[in-house]
Amino acid sequence: MSLKGEVCVVTGACGFLGQRLVRLLLDEEDMAEVRLLDKHVQPQLLQNLQESRGDTQLSVFEGDIRDGDFVRRACRGASLVFHIASLIDVIGVVEYSELHAVNVRGTQMLLEACIQENVASFIYTSSLEVAGPNPRGDPIVNGNEDTVYECTLKFAYSQTKKEAEQRTLQAHGEVLQNGGRLATCALRPMYIYGEGCRFLLGHMADGIRNRDVLLRMSAPEARVNPVYVGNVALAHLQAARSLRGPERRSAVGGKFYYISDDTPPVSYSDFNHVVMSPLGFSIQAKPRLPLRLLYLLCFLLELLCAMLRPFKRVVPPVNRQLLTMLNTPFSFSYQRAKRDLGYEPGHTWEESRRGTVRWLASQLPRERERLMCKQ
């Protein structure tokens, strides 16, 4: 099912995934208009997109998704919303109130705007972290959407993403102003990597500081299955196509889907080494401290920060829940997305790896220079 002639809104359009999705829409679909919604749209990005847009109109909406009037203007006349924008925080730097305002209230604002402005389809970019892992570190290997897993989410980020996902799926079937009905679905990608991934840059910078030895924060047996950004963008496109067709719309609407690809399962730390070893990086054989001792130190740090909280807000760089996430086998299959959405990874593992390595190689001189200037 083609998206030809549709008008779509992409929130977080200038982000890591947002940019990739916009380029895919311009390359693959003869859309009437793509609206870039973000707090700020870089002129260089817009110029690059204009050069490859063909007959598709590109429009810019700069503003805050917490602003109801703004999101209504952005959605007016649109038929499809890709909601990618969110605040990401796994160590507690951002206050819960801010995370909730953007991730939950912002999503609710968009859903209300879709109902008021007769937007037929809404696709929410959720996160693997709404599933866990739980504080006990219970593993999941090759799980799916039916996997039962007991989890009390500890991260404020995970909590707000979960609530936003629930609100999105509950809005499926809401009556629009014109009498039609809103169709929604949510995608839960694994850890997303690829060109433009700021987390990979952060790990590379840590490795440079450590004399080109990557830090090990996860045990080799704690395997996860990262997913390439190009494949996540493709899954969004397939979801949009599914929601447009009447038959598949009813089958897909109101559901969530795990999005992975054929990237080999590996621990987070070892994945960093896979994509950075061609650049001359090695990796620690084991963490500098045993994991049990790290957990204890994190507990003591969290206790100290809680005691200081009335006087000064201090956030430790690592906490127990992050250590649990990094050291829990947690992988999921994309077979349900393949069956319902027609999703197939469009980029092989080798292609994804080569593209990521090339991008990291292009960033390495700049990172070395930046870190030298800070010394």
Catalytic site positions? 161
CA atoms within 13 A on the CB side of 35: 24
CB of 107 within 8 A of CB of 168? yes
Quote the strand ranges of 55-200, DSSP E.
57-62, 80-83, 121-125, 140-143, 183-189, 192-193
Q: What angle do CA 10, 50, 84 make, to 5 degrees?
A: 15
* Parallel/antiparallel/unpaired status of strands 330-332 and 255-259: unpaired
| C-alpha–C-alpha distance, residues 154 and 132, integer Å | 9
CB of 338 within 8 A of CB of 238? no
Q: What angle do CA 230, 233, 234 make, to 5 degrees?
A: 90
Question: Tokens representing 186?
Answer: 């949510």
DSSP string for residues in 92-112:
S-S-HHHHIIIIIIHHHHHHH
| C-alpha–C-alpha distance, residues 172 and 243, integer Å | 11
Backbone φ, ψ for residue 200 (5° rounding): -65, -40
109: which residues sit within 8 A by CB, 6+ positions away? 65, 66, 67, 68, 71
Backbone φ, ψ for residue 374 (5° rounding): -80, -15
| C-alpha–C-alpha distance, residues 338 and 221, integer Å | 27
Give me the amino acid identity at 358: R
- Exposed, middle or buried: residue 204 (CB in 10 Å: 0-12, 13-18, 19+)? buried
Instruction: Write down the residue that tokens 């990557």 correspond to.
Output: 214
